[in-house]
């Protein structure tokens, strides 16, 4: 076999190159938003995470849906001006292969939105995620579904965090659900409350931080991202 002295990585396999990328800080962090409940706010959180990550200085953010025509794609198409890259993981035989391609494009953070159904593709995604965010509405019906995602994530050896979402301001149920979730895993100290500006922002392809950066919703999302970002940095072997 011929050698190439100008390239110190010549001859390494793809697996070896991926391992080396993690060690020297050129890998990609995978942040997945998953929940077994419809309307828990997965797409809203994923879109806001991607934009706030960019606003906070994370370079080369890519968003991904597990389907070809997911809700993130609809939001992305409505968005004007600067926006993160968009990818679909639906066409790949293995999720890990699709993520490897995004790594090769030198993205630093991939924010993935998942469907309501826990299928094989979602399990593949959970297995390769650096952190799984599980939104849960303050509802007894949503609680076991959120717990199921956390259980699968734990069985796969990955980290997860619950976020109480779509909460009614001042309602005691939000605190009660947070206490119940804490019995099954880590709960974010930041609760996302139900407000009209979240709906308006998503309908316009924007975020609440862009509608009014001083609004209560914007402050909540900035605080939540700061918390998630610190967890993410603890769970990955490289800086983002």
Residue 10 pLDDT exceeds 80: no
Domain that holds residue 224: 27-235
User: What are 31's strand-pairing partners?
Assistant: 111, 131
Q: What pLDDT shows up at residue 235?
A: 77
Classify residue 180: in a domain, yes or no.
yes
Classify residue 146: in a domain, yes or no.
yes
- As a whole number of angstroms, the distance between CA 91 and CA 18 comes to 22
Classify residue 142: in a domain, yes or no.
yes
Which one is predicted more confidently, 1 or 147? Answer: 147
Mean pLDDT of 94-111: 93
Task: Band the pLDDT of 100: cuts 50, 70, 90.
Answer: very high
Q: What pLDDT shows up at residue 9?
A: 45
- As a whole number of angstroms, the distance between CA 28 and CA 140 comes to 36
Classify residue 13: in a domain, yes or no.
no
Q: What angle do CA 130, 134, 138 make, to 5 degrees?
A: 160
Classify residue 14: in a domain, yes or no.
no
Q: What pLDDT shows up at residue 187?
A: 98
Q: What are the pLDDT digits (tens) for 41-94?
A: 999 999 999 999 999 999 899 999 886 678 899 999 999 978 999 998 877 778
| SS (HEC) of 72-131 | HHHHHHHCCCCCCEEEECCCCCCHHHHHHHHHHCCCCEEEEECCCCCCHHHHHHHHCCCE
Give the CATH number, domain containing residue 132: 3.40.50.300
Q: What angle do CA 178, 182, 183 make, to 5 degrees?
A: 125
Beta carbons of 177 and 143 less than 8 angstroms apart: yes
Q: What are the pLDDT digits (tens) for 192-232?
A: 999 999 999 999 999 999 999 999 999 999 999 999 999 99
Classify residue 92: in a domain, yes or no.
yes
Classify residue 19: in a domain, yes or no.
no
Classify residue 59: in a domain, yes or no.
yes
Which one is predicted more confidently, 159 or 4? Answer: 159
Q: Residue 75, Cα to own-chain centre: how many angstroms?
A: 15
Residue 14 pLDDT exceeds 70: no
> How many structural domains is the chain composed of?
1
């Amino acid at each position: 076999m011929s050698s190439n002295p100008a390239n110190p990585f010549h001859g390494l396999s793809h697996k070896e190159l991926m391992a080396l990328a993690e060690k020297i800080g050129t890998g990609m962090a995978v942040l997945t938003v998953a929940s077994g409940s419809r309307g828990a706010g997965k797409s809203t959180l994923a879109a806001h995470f991607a934009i706030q990550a960019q606003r906070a200085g994370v370079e080369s953010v890519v968003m991904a849906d597990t389907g070809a025509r997911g809700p993130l794609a609809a939001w992305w198409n409505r968005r004007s001006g600067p926006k993160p890259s968009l990818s679909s993981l639906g066409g790949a035989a293995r999720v890990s292969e699709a993520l490897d391609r995004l790594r090769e494009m030198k993205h630093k953070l991939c924010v993935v939105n998942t469907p309501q159904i826990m299928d094989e593709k979602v399990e593949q995604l959970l297995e390769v995620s650096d952190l799984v965010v599980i939104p849960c509405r303050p509802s007894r019906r949503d609680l076991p579904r959120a717990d199921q995602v956390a259980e699968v994530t734990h069985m796969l050896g990955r980290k997860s965090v619950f976020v109480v979402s779509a909460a009614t301001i001042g309602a005691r149920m939000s605190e009660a659900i947070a206490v119940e979730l804490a019995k099954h895993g880590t709960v974010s100290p930041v609760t996302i409350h139900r407000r009209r500006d979240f709906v308006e922002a998503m309908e316009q392809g924007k975020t609440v931080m862009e509608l009014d950066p001083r609004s209560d919703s914007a402050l909540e999302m900035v605080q939540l991202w700061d918390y998630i970002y610190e967890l993410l940095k603890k769970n990955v072997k490289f800086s983002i």
